[in-house]
Structure 1
Amino acid sequence: MSGRNGAPGAADPIGAGANRSGSNEAAGRIREQIIYGKLAAINLHAGERMQRIARSPLIAESRRFAVAVLTPDVRLAHQIQFEVEHLYALRESVRSALDFFAYDIAEGDVIITADAYGGGTRGQTLTMAMPLFVEGELMLFPAIRAQMSDLGGEIPGGFHPLAHEQWQESMRLTPVKLYVGGKLQRDVFRFLMTNSRTAEWLGADLAAMHACCQEMQRSLLELLGQYGQTAVGQAADAMIAHTEAEAKRFLPRHGAAAGGRQGTAALPAACGGAQIAVTAAWAGEQLVLDFAGTDAQLAAPYNCTAAMTQSIAAASALAGGLDELPLNEGLLAALAFKLPQGSLVSPQFPAATALSGHVTAHAIAAAVTQALRSADESANRGEAGEPHPAIHGGGPWAMLYQPVGSAKVTPLRIEPGFAQVHGGWGPSALFGAGRLLSAEELESGYGFRLERRERQTDGSMQVELHILQGKWEYQAFPYGEDSVLIDSGSSVKQQEDGGTDNMQDGQQGVQEEQEDASGGPVLTSGDRIRLHYAGEAKAEEGEGHDN
């Protein structure tokens, strides 16, 4: 380059080297974002493919699954999810599986686990991990976590309202290799199929998970071949660091002194009325959520595993920015947790957990939200003058299945409406991202006529289903007083707020009139199910519960 006098070879102008260095740094950041964008695209494509090729309605329609790419040291590089509960549980269940097979993992191995006490949340949700090796070294690898239609237990589908231990809800599937060196382990596969009421769906869903993981492996190998292992790893690390910084920016910092901020919430009285307590306080660069003071675990299916509690609490704390941030290790690193062992938020095996996501999760979210709104609430309000957003607010649902003892017993989840959240923006984040069943699907596929699904002036939703044909045993899971009514033709029975004793009492009248050989309540042609979903005030504040 020319100097000030135009002579060739003269020194660069002062600052030119710094400008070049800054340009190179900016170019490097752009390149890292491009690489990470391609990594995220691999994940997104796998999620779309999983939904298309899975057989069970829980995945294909309700989208109760998550897909992730993890680093060799089992950090979350990128994740997509359609339910909040997977936020920590996918990574933790993969860590548990890889720890179980430490020094015994090779190319072509596929590990599965469905253990609520091995980093999971509920026994019916299965994680599949497929380690990827390049020249003998573990690389970025895929994992998928999805709710299965049935993995054993006393009640089809695993949602047992009277369960007090894990085995009543499902089998306990600790880490096992479904494939070894690329070869299907037929004894393991046979065991799973034999112990599921929906073997056809389970087999198809496992095949879909395996196919998606294989496609992700091929795409990851192409990405590594295009940019190199070092560059891809650096891109993931850079985005994780960026996400952590952004997550801390979204988390509220007011009131962190003097012991932090407290929040409490209770389960419905019919569910035991147990108390959730949390204190939110900053410790260094992490927001610590301390659940000291939470009640002990219950002999009922409302206990939240550590992974479930962390997922719900983190989503509640990050509610203001969760949609704007990528889901990766940086998001998780912004928070820390203190969970008392043997409590409702970190139970000891074999406490039942199946209904924790439908009951206790809303109480956890309510307590965290209250803590982040308290202690100088006006200072906590965002730029638009709104309080810390809430993600809780549930609604009633029911599980239907052919009478136990039938040649085929297929659980059908009925959740045809949703509670309104603040501002009229639809269902709460804890509702998930599934779609509502259409009237055509319900009538042609299951013999139910959707006679009413109306939003009321107060924001509530009224839904009425008419049973046209067939015979179904059922379990109703209310969410508030008068939220589920069963019209058996000659009488209308109210399903009490979702507890064990009241659940039995509420169904007793129907049992007396229509009792199957198995003793369970039965719906037949002509019966109706009426469900009421709360408006935004009750959905957010939990007024639908008898606390």
Structure 2
Amino acid sequence: MANDWNKRILSQVVGGTLDSVAQEMSAVVTRTSRSPLFNEAHDYTTGIFDLHGNKSRLVAQAPGCTLHLYAVVSAVDRLVEAFRYDLHPGDVLLVNDPYYGGSHSLDWTIVTPVFHGRKPVLLPAVRSHMGDNGGPVAGGYNPRSRDIWQDGLRIPPIKLYERGEKRRDVFEMILGNNRLEHWLEGDLDAMIGACRVAEERIRTLLERYGGDQVREAIDSRIAYTERRVREEIGSWPDGTYTAETFADHDFQGRRDIRVKATVTVKGSDLHIDFTGSSPQVSGFINSPLSNTTSFAFVAVSTCCDEDIPINEGYMNPVTVTAPLGTVVNPKLPAPCGHATACVGAEIAEAVLLALAQCAPERVGVNAHKLPLAYSHGEYEDGRPWVNLNFFGYTGGAGAAYGTDGWGLYPPVMTGVILPSIEMTEYQYPCRILKHEYREDYTGPGKWRGAPGLEVKIQHLAESRTSVMMAGVRNTIRGFCGGGNGPANQVVINDGQPGAMDVPETVFDYPMPPNGIITFQRSGGGGWGSPLDRDPEAVLDDVRNGYVSVDGAFRDYGVIVREDGKGGYRLDADATEAHRSRLKESKRK
């Protein structure tokens, strides 16, 4: 018994240490990188893998950009396959190719092997969204892309360092294909530095406990996670549950692209089948298998307790089928540049809508239908800048059982941090004129989604902007009777001659100095019937400016009146009578 307890304790010590190492890696990237995407927005993920047979296993991961959660697993596997018999101390590996375990080519993965007993045993990894990726357009999002090469530079598995020596020719090739060279080399150094710090910490761990004991502790921790996830799945009724949702368009004329998910629960096993999804499309929303799998796992993970350690054990009970040649598993050379937003959002949404039929109290919160608009121009010294306009994407977090939507980012971007307004205005020639909640702009429900926002961003210098709309016709979905979110809206050159309310997409649209982009960003979907929401909670929302008096009556059947003192009061008797009539009419 004592030996068993010692193993359990060691498993917690080793697991906690590796979690701390992953978090330290994240801090290193934040504090040493150059790009605001890293040091302000934190659009990256750090993790640690081990080698188990011929594949890698996720061992630990720091909070980061959640949509990277499992896509990085595929990238590490492809790197291991490419260099399995050619790994040496001091090597640094890189890949970004969507068809080699990537998601879209803007996400780059750096891996370094840690050796013990002359064998590679653990693999620190960083996956980050880069500010530019070469190719035809600044910023890497190309709505006119017709193939993977028009998405940007493809980087298959390569070595940046070999046996500790920097491959300068490879670095120069990569830097020469990037508009933001002044950021890129520093960001790569930050990613590599994080892996090297992790290597030092891991060596200390291995020297203290030994390779065999560390490996046994990792096995135990993964088994613990798997057991917890299987207990959750096993509590859901066996059966097959199907749902579908749609992306508005592919930015090249194809509309209403279907994502269909059939979820089968059998004991503690879960199978997700995307058969019935639309064929791959011409536009750049096709989701490579690694991205599809990642969004499916993200959906499942949101249905499990948050105290379960994130590691390979999450994936073992879940299998995924995605037919080749579809929008969820395209054939080369289909473009994939926008897949992490569209159709990634629809993949997670379809899985959650299916799970709502067997685990209704576990689903919700997912919402990621981003109205993406990025701008680019030049600083006064001629250097290029690319601004992803992060403030315009905030909002969209949906409700879940027992809680309203919260926060400014939806859960698939949980680890991404809203940049400070002051630093954004310092780093780019822009002003954030407005960033505030908008009244009556969320999905109603027994628990409502997070409020939507209105955002105005002004670029002081001449610039150009491309806009990719989503969530206009097929808006953010509510769950279990909750209302859907409203439509997103983007207006460019707002308030000036030539202002345009973007219907679907515009490409490289010229904006004069002081041009303004206005975002109306949908709030999240609701959970449960709005007629079941606590009237006092609706009154609080009116007082806080989230819901108008008319909205309280229209969406919730709650009658709020002015109190004569500049405030509001609830008319409880009138509300109860009105709701009774509404519920009776629904039953008929």
- TM-score relative to the length of structure 1: 0.85
Q: CA deviation at 1:283?
A: 4.7
SS in 1 for 2:256: coil
| CA distance in 2 between partners of 1:482 and 1:88 (Å) | 28
For residue 453 of structure 2, what is the aligned residue in structure 1?
A: 461
Contact 2:367 2:397 in 1 (8 A): no
CA distance in 1, matches of 2:501, 2:107: 31
Q: Give a deviation string over 1:300-338, Cα, whole Å, max 9, x none.
A: 011111111111111112212263222211011121011
Q: 1:143 to 1:444 in 2, by over 3 A?
A: closer
Contact 2:67 2:298 in 1 (8 A): no
- Please show how residues 66-465 of structure 1 align to structure 2 within 5 Å: 66-73=45-52, 74-251=56-233, 254-257=236-239, 260-269=240-249, 271=251, 272-283=255-266, 285-321=268-304, 323-374=306-357, 380-381=359-360, 386=361, 388-402=363-377, 407-416=382-391, 417-422=394-399, 423-426=404-407, 427-458=409-440, 459-465=451-457
8 A Cα contact 1:420 1:539, kept in partner: no
Q: Deviations over 1:317-366 (max 9, x none)?
A: 22122632222110111210111001111111111111112221111111
**Alpha carbons 2:303, 2:362 under 8 Å: kept:** no
- Residue 536 of structure 1 corresponds to 524
Give the AA of the match of 1:464: K
- The DSSP-based 3-state class of the residue aligned with 2:270 is strand
CA distance in 1, matches of 2:223, 2:44: 26
Structure 1 residue 451: Cα displacement: 2.0
CA contact (8 A) 2:234 2:269 kept: no
The one-letter amino acid of 2:496's match is: G
SS at match of 1:173: coil
Q: Which residue of 1 aligns with 2:20?
A: 41
CA distance in 2, matches of 1:239, 1:307: 24
2:456 is matched by which residue type in structure 1? Answer: E
How many positions carry a matched residue from both structures? Answer: 489
Question: How far off is 1:23 after superposition?
Answer: 3.7
Asked if structure 1 preserves the Cα contact closer than 8 Å seen for 2:367 and 2:525, the reply is no
- State the Cα RMSD in Å: 2.3
Give the C-alpha shift of residue 391 in structure 1. 1.3
- My pick for the range that moved more, 40-49 or 473-482, is 473-482
TM-score of the superposed pair, with normalisation by structure 2:
0.79
Tell me, what secondary structure is at the counterpart of 1:140? strand
Shift of 1:410: 2.3
Partner SS for 2:435: strand
Q: Which digits, 9 at most, give the CA deviation of each residue in 1:55-107, with x for residues without a partner?
A: 11112122121112111221111122422332222121111112112322222
In the alignment, is the contact (CA less than 8 A) between 2:28 and 2:193 conserved in 1? no
Separation in 1 of the partners of 2:498 and 2:296? Answer: 42
| Contact map agreement 1:256 1:280 (CA 8 A) in 2 | no
SS in 2 for 1:365: helix
Distance in 1 (CA, whole Å) between partners of 2:79 and 2:331 is 19
Gaps of 5+ in 2: 441-450, 473-486, 530-588
How far, CA to CA, are the matches of 2:310 and 2:528 in structure 1?
A: 25
Shift of 1:492: 2.5
Decide whether aligned partners of structure 1 residues 322 and 302 sit closer, same or farther in structure 2, where only a CA change above 3 A counts: farther
- Residues 265, 363 of structure 1: 8 Å contact kept: yes
- Which residue in the other structure is 1:545 paired with? none
Q: What's 1:59 paired with?
A: 38
Q: Deviations over 1:382-434 (max 9, x none)?
A: xxxx3522412433232111179x94322111021322422131231123422
Contact 2:263 2:272 in 1 (8 A): yes
Using the TM superposition, give the Cα deviation of residue 254 of structure 1 relative to its aligned residue in structure 2, in angstroms: 3.7
Which letter does structure 1 place at the counterpart of 2:510? Answer: V
Q: Work out the CA distance in 2 between the residues paired with 1:387 and 1:79.
A: 23
